[in-house]
Structures are given as structure tokens and as C-alpha cells.
Homo-oligomer: A and B are copies of this chain.
Amino acid sequence: MPGSNFGTLFHISTFGESHGPALGVVIDGCPAGLALTEEDIIPYMNRRRPGQSQYTTARSESDTPEILSGTFNGVTTGAPIAILIRNTDQRSKDYSEIADIFRPGHADFTFFEKYGIRDYRGGGRSSARETAARVAAGAVAAKLLREFNIEAIAFTKSISDITVDDKFLDPMENRVRRDDVLKSPVFMPDSAAGERACAFLDKKREELDSTGGVVRIHVTGLPAGLGDTVFEKLDARLAGALMSIGAVKGVTIGDGFSVSLSTGSLDNDSFYADDDLNIHTTSNHGGGILGGMSTGGMIIAEAAFKPTPSIAKEQETVDKAGISRKISIKGRHDPTVVPRAVVVCECMVNLVIADALLTNATARLDNLHKIYRR
């Protein structure tokens, strides 16, 4: 499947460059009968929109999504749902300086090597702006998941070494409130940590430098058994989805890399049955996934983001001809990509879970009998 397609049954196809006329997505496979309007999408677009706080870029992107197809009287019809986001800030800038130069930490060089041509205006297809289409699609997935009381909440776990309080990381209980996340300029549920992070970011900006961080995602409400046993394990899909976001260099599920230091007797999550004989785990080192399938417990995933590669500090590089050049990236850039990436992570997780919900529907013959023998 070509590279801008994602998902088996809840399938999306995205398009658009940073400085082209528009970005967008076609969602093919969303079940018919779901109430859906632009109002469901706009709050998600707003969360990734730059210029929301002083820690995100000042470029004004109104990012108004337009649903072009797939709904009728505000309800999905089963036809593909196309969502269009016009680029409104395309004033013709002078890109001659970066047209031939490969910016360190950016895809300029690798894109040019692959395709032999490069839309250098703002990074083209490799711009973070590409994620606007993911967010629009993820908002639709979220609406579908809400029908089944499934909800993903992403938040900033850390900016550099400033990390939210441990209580927000309890794997057995989701103590993260969406409201607390949204009111933080860096999307940390812990306001004290958030303040420290803001101060740190101010410092990085003054230093003409940038920093990284970690986004964490909690998913609650999943039935047990979503996912698959081999290549399409739920954690494999989540890892691929999160790693596909620009600047992510690491992905974990549950306890992540620390499991390598643990022991079987500590790491295994024991089972118990509640009074209704529903089975749960007594701990959640596994992050809600066992053997590639959901346990019914909270899903926990993390993604590590590298520092924003666009920095004002002068850097060494080369141009297309291989001539040494110095570059300092002009303009007002985010000292970290993390806050804007939070909603992107949440949306990628929504897409994976929605797809798993659909593909799981035919796992059992008795499910089919529920549908076809009424």
C-alpha cells in the first residue's frame, strides 16, 4: 500500500504539502449511521493548530475542515468521507535560500535522494503540517470510538527532563483529565510541571535552540481481544502508527524499556475475577496488551520526540552540489514539537483502535451470526 495510506478497514488516504493549495484526507470504511459534522473535527484541529500559545509557531493557520462527501443530513452514509483543509497562509515567500540546501535534521536530503525532486517550500510533504490530515481523520475515529465508550487521551509526559507527577502515570487508573491537559500551554496534566516546562522552553528559545520530550497516551474502555496475534498485533500497529509521526525516535507500550531490567515474577500481570466473574489483571506492566491483543485494561503507549530540528543557531550543512554551507533557520520556530504533537499521537491511536475494532468484528463466527441471522 503506498505510503500515505493507512488502515485496513478504517482506511485513510492523506494528501497535501505545507505550502500547496490544501491538505486533506479520504476516509474509506467508516460505518454508516454515525452522526458527524465539521463541529466534531474542529476542536481537534484547534489542538494541533500553531499559535495557540507562545510555545508554538506564530504562523496563522485557521485549519477549517470542510467535509466534502460521505455524510447526508449530518450522518455518515458509508461512502468515503473526504475532508479538505485549505492552506490559507501561502504568501509567496522567498525560499531561494533553502531551495538548494539540505537542512540538518530535516527530510530535505532523503526526500531529494528518493524522488530526485523536492518541493522545498516549508518542507513540502515532509512538513509537520502533513499531520493536519491525520488529525482530521483521527477526530472521526474518535467519534466512532465514543459510540463504544472507548477514549484515548494523549498528554505531554515530559519536556526534556521535566516530567509530570507519578500519579498521572499510574497504569491501573487513568488520573489524567482531558480538561487539565487542554488548559496547559504544553498539554501537561500537572500544572506545576507545566510551569517548569514553560520556563525551560523560554530558555531554549533564548538560546536559539530546541528540546525534545515524551508524549503518553492512555486508552480506556476497550473490550478484551482487539488486535491480532502475529504481525498485526495491537502494539505493533500502535508502534508503527506513532513512529510514523515526524520526529518520533522511540515508542513503548506499558513499562517499555524498563521491562528489560525486570523479572518474570514482577513483570507478569496476574489475573483475577471480579464479582461478576469478569477477568482483569492485578497490575498493568503490559500496558493493556498481551500477545498483541487488548486485555480490557488501560492501554498505555509513549512516544519520544527529538528536539525541533529547525533552530536559529547556525549549523553546518551542504547544498545539492555538495558545497559546504552554513544555515540558521529563519522565522519563529517552536522550541519543542511536543505540545502540538500531543493531539497527533492521540489521533493516530484513535485510527489504530478504530481499525482494530472493525477488523475484530469478523474474528468469530458467532459475531457474524449476530449480524446475519436476525
Contact = CB atoms under 8 A, between A and B. Distances in A.
15 contacts: A9-B9, A13-B80, A15-B79, A15-B81, A16-B68, A21-B68, A22-B68, A24-B68, A72-B117, A78-B363, A147-B368, A231-B244, A239-B242, A252-B257, A256-B304
A331 interface: no
Contact of A125 (B204, B230, B358, B364): B230
A33 B366 contact: yes
Interface residues of A, number: 171
Instruction: In the A-B complex, list the 7 residue pairs whose CB atoms are closest, starting with the nearest.
Output: A107-B291, A240-B240, A3-B228, A273-B322, A114-B225, A110-B293, A236-B244
A244 B118 CA distance: 34
A77 B3 contact: no
A23 B70 CA distance: 11
- The DSSP consensus for interface residues of chain A is mixed
Contact of A5 (B11, B124, B233): B11
Contacts of A286: 105, 249, 306
A349 to B, nearest CB: 14
A138 interface: no
B229 A313 contact: no
A46 to B, nearest CB: 22
A105 B372 contact: no
B20 A290 contact: no
A249 B299 CA distance: 12
A42 interface: no
Contact of A271 (B11, B102, B117, B118): B102
A129 to B, nearest CB: 11
B107 A293 contact: yes
Contacts of A289: 110
Interface in A85-107: 102, 104-107
Nearest to A314: B265
Contacts of A113: 223-225, 293, 296
Given A31-B362, A33-B365, A223-B372, A257 B249 contact: yes
